């Protein structure tokens, strides 16, 4: 390629990450090796199941559509414009493409050889970080908020593009690797590997790794006659070994293989070559791991034909949550992934009920409420839901409602078998009170909001946190419109809701000691749900409705958004957001440890540091309480 063409390509690339992290000379080196591909409109560059190319691609001009097959339909995943990078799968996997790349219009793309670009990935931490974050999050360019030069990967997790899963995705690997001494004869090592059907052996000294022998070494160093098989493995082993700790993530492992251009990683006790060998990770292990992610779980859910199969997926989700907590992944990311999978489980439960009963006689919406509606349910707690069906004629109403009650009873029974207990308060779609027509639901919300307190035993604030799991989105929108229309200048309703928020027993007593349960099954324990977490949940909901914050149900996200739309009190909202995450993590750890709802914590089992951390997280609650008293006239229901 002539210098002038290479110069032009280099000048183009430097405007977009990750190329803007390279020097001019490095860009010229890349540009000189680039292949220019002209694509006519609708021409395919690669498609699903094609063998991987030896290049990845940058759009020079035009538009490239990336699509996947979901439920037997081709779904457009993204559009790539000038500067966008795509087709990165050859960097990270050996199996075929999982996307189709097709020109939306006449386009030109640059093909950058993987072997040319690999050294820049290994040598430049910013390029490595770009690829790592982009690969793990599967999003547009994470460094470019204006979407210029977005990087599209070829790993499809779910239709909704779950985030950062591979940072904490579990990685199964061989925990009983073959270990041999440096004096082992090559022939004996080869025979041992053949007998055990394994492609590697770790050379150790006092159980610490000093080298590794793989099938590749036999092909490149023995088969061609470089060394006789009577030599010791010291002659052909690769040394030093690239080592990783036991909790290494899929993304981290993939990038280390890429960075060091190796096919295996040695797992050791502390991640260094100075500690005991614990296992071996191969490229094959990483390919298998890519099939064990939320996207696959979603597919398993869609194929499930029984509660037993759904329960198996839910158990995998618990493992995923536990692994993410162990790696200190931010809780909002875990909520996002968990929420999508749980919603899919609920949806499939409704679908199985429909398969059993036959087609619904009217359109409807199944709404998860409470913690499921807020996408905050990490532990196996009880289920909460309502069912809203479209208005029908008077003569059809009874039959239609009977159908939906039967449907709801079947669906909730399936969810109970999955592990979600029936709501002790009966807040489920299978309860005839919470399964009714849109008009009846509008009357219900009107009653709750216009005359609060008159039938206070019927109202629960969880009915104001909901997420559609199945059915007509327009029905959910109609409920939302009713709530926010009724909230305008509704002093009485916010008086009721504000007092209800402040009615919880305080978490700390006058002497700043934890208020513990005085009797019952949980005597001596701290009720972290009702004394600490729920006041924050209730407060976030109260301000969200009063400030017309639609479409955001998650408590953490509500507080973050409130800080933006009500900047005068942003510090309080942000403190509450942080406190909510800390308290939720305490509850989740408790629940995972004891296989419970995590609602009650034994304070005595916490370290001194954790007790102080927990106590400090309760501080913002007082600020929130004072803000509620200041913002709302809490008189009639005080």
Q: Which string of DSSP letters, residue by residue, matches 398-416?
A: HHHHHHHHHHHHHHHHHHH
Query: Angle, to 10 degrees, between the axis of helix 394-418 and the axis of helix 307-326?
Result: 60
The burial of 395, by beta-carbon neighbours within 10 Å (0-12 exposed, 13-18 middle, 19 or more buried), is given as exposed
- Kindly give the pairing relationship between strand 64-70 and strand 73-80: antiparallel
Task: Name the CA dihedral angle for 556, 558, 563, 567, rounded to a multiple of 10 degrees.
Answer: -160
Within the chain, which residues score under 50 in pLDDT? Answer: 71, 135-165, 167, 456
Q: Tell me which CATH code domain 296-475 carries.
A: 3.30.460.10
Q: Rounded to whole angstroms, how far apart are CA atoms 401 and 361?
A: 9
Q: Which two tokens stand for residue 303?
A: 């194929």
What's the pLDDT score for residue 140?
A: 35
CA atoms 407, 409, 413, 416: torsion sign:
positive
Residues 295, 286 contacting (CB under 8 angstroms): no
Residues 253, 281 contacting (CB under 8 angstroms): yes
Q: Rounded to whole angstroms, how far apart are CA atoms 108 and 375?
A: 42
- Measured in degrees and rounded to the nearest 5, phi and psi for residue 598 equal 75, 10
The domain segmentation of the chain, as residue ranges, is: 3-156, 179-290, 296-475, 493-631
Q: What is the 3-state secondary structure (H, E, C) of 39-101?
A: ECCCCEEECCCCCCCCEEEEEEECCEEEEEEECCEEEEEEEECCCCEECCHHHHCCCCCCCEE
The burial of 145, by beta-carbon neighbours within 10 Å (0-12 exposed, 13-18 middle, 19 or more buried), is given as exposed
Residues 465, 427 contacting (CB under 8 angstroms): no
Q: Which two tokens stand for residue 362?
A: 């009217």
Q: Which two tokens stand for residue 190?
A: 């080869």
pTM, 2 dp: 0.62
Q: Rounded to whole angstroms, how far apart are CA atoms 324 and 334?
A: 7
Q: Is 396 helix (H, G, I), strand (E, B) or coil?
A: helix
The burial of 321, by beta-carbon neighbours within 10 Å (0-12 exposed, 13-18 middle, 19 or more buried), is given as buried
Q: Rounded to whole angstroms, how far apart are CA atoms 516 and 523?
A: 7
**Range 179-290 has CATH code 3.30.70.100:** no
Residues 598, 379 contacting (CB under 8 angstroms): yes
Among 618, 614, 610, smallest CA distance to 536 is for 618
End-to-end CA distance of the chain: 80
What's the pLDDT score for residue 102?
A: 92
CA–CA distances in Å: residue 222 to residues 23, 229, 238, 240:
41, 7, 14, 20
What's the pLDDT score for residue 547?
A: 93
Q: What is the 3-state secondary structure (H, E, C) of 326-358?
A: HCCCCHHHHHHHHHHHHHHHHHHHHHHHHHHHC
Q: Rounded to whole angstroms, how far apart are CA atoms 279 and 289?
A: 16
Please state the CATH superfamily assignment of the domain spanning residues 3-156 in this structure: Jelly Rolls (2.60.120.10)
Residues paired with residue 209 on neighbouring β-strands, in sequence order: 204
Put the strands of the sheet holding 277-282 in their side by side order.
243-244, 264-268, 277-282
Residues 118, 64 contacting (CB under 8 angstroms): no
CA–CA distances in Å: residue 420 to residues 108, 349, 366, 372, 384:
52, 12, 16, 11, 9
pLDDT in tens, 509-523: 877 888 888 888 889
């Amino acid at each position: 390629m002539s210098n002038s063409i290479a110069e032009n390509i280099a000048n183009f690339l430097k405007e977009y990450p990750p190329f803007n992290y390279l020097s001019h000379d490095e860009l010229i080196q890349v540009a000189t090796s680039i292949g220019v591909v002209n694509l006519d409109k609708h021409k395919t560059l690669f498609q699903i199941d094609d063998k991987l190319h030896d290049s990845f691609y940058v759009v020079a001009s035009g538009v490239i559509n990336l699509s996947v097959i979901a439920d037997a339909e081709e779904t457009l995943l993204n559009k790539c414009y000038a500067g966008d990078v795509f087709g990165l799968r050859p960097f990270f996997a050996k199996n075929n493409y999982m996307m189709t790349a097709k020109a939306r219009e006449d386009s030109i793309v640059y093909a950058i050889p993987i072997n040319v670009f690999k050294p820049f990935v290994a040598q430049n931490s910013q390029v490595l970080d770009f690829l790592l974050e982009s690969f793990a999050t599967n999003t547009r360019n994470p460094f470019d908020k204006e979407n210029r030069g977005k990087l599209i990967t070829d790993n499809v997790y779910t239709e909704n593009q779950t985030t950062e899963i591979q940072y904490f995705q579990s990685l199964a690997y061989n925990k009983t690797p073959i270990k041999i001494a440096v004096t082992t004869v090559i022939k004996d090592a080869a025979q041992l590997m053949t007998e055990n059907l394994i492609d590697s052996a770790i050379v150790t000294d006092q159980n610490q790794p000093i080298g590794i022998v793989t099938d590749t070494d036999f092909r490149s160093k023995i088969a061609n006659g470089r060394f006789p098989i009577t030599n010791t493995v010291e002659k052909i082993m690769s040394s030093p070994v690239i080592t990783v700790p036991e909790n290494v993530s899929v993304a981290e492992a993939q990038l280390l293989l890429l960075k060091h251009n190796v096919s295996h990683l040695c797992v050791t006790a502390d991640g260094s070559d100075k500690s005991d060998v614990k296992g071996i990770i191969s490229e094959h292990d990483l390919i298998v791991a890519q099939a064990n992610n939320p996207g696959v779980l979603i597919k398993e859910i869609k194929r499930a034909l029984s509660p037993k199969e759904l329960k198996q997926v839910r158990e995998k989700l618990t493992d995923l949550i536990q692994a993410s907590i162990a790696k200190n992944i931010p809780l909002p990311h875990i909520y996002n992934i968990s929420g999508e999978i749980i919603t899919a489980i609920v949806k499939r439960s409704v679908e199985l009920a429909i398969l059993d009963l036959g087609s619904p006689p009217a359109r409807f919406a199944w709404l998860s409420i409470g913690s499921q509606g807020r996408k905050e349910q990490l532990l196996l707690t009880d289920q909460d839901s309502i069912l809203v069906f479209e208005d029908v004629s008077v003569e059809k109403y009874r039959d239609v409602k009977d159908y939906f009650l039967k449907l709801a009873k079947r669906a909730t029974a399936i969810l109970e078998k999955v592990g979600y207990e029936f709501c002790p308060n009966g807040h489920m779609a299978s309860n005839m009170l919470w399964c009714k027509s849109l008009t009846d639901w509008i009357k219900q919300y009107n009653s709750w909001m216009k005359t609060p307190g008159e039938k206070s035993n019927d109202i629960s604030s969880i009915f104001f946190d909901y997420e559609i799991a199945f059915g007509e989105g327009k029905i959910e929108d109609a409920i939302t419109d009713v709530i926010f229309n009724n909230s305008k200048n509704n002093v009485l309703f916010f008086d009721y809701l504000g007092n209800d928020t402040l009615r919880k027993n305080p978490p700390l007593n006058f002497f700043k000691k934890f208020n513990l349960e005085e009797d019952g099954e949980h005597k001596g324990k701290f009720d972290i749900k009702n004394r600490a977490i729920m006041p924050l949940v209730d407060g976030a909901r109260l301000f969200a409705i009063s400030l017309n914050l639609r479409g955001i149900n998650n408590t953490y996200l509500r507080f973050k958004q409130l800080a933006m739309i009500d900047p005068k009190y942003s510090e309080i909202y942000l403190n509450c957001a942080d406190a909510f995450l800390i308290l939720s993590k305490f509850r989740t750890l408790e629940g995972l440890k004891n296989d419970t709802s995590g609602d009650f914590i034994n304070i005595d089992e916490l370290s001194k540091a954790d007790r102080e951390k927990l106590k400090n997280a309760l501080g913002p609650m007082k600020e929130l309480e004072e803000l509620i008293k200041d913002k709302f006239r809490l008189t009639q229901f005080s």
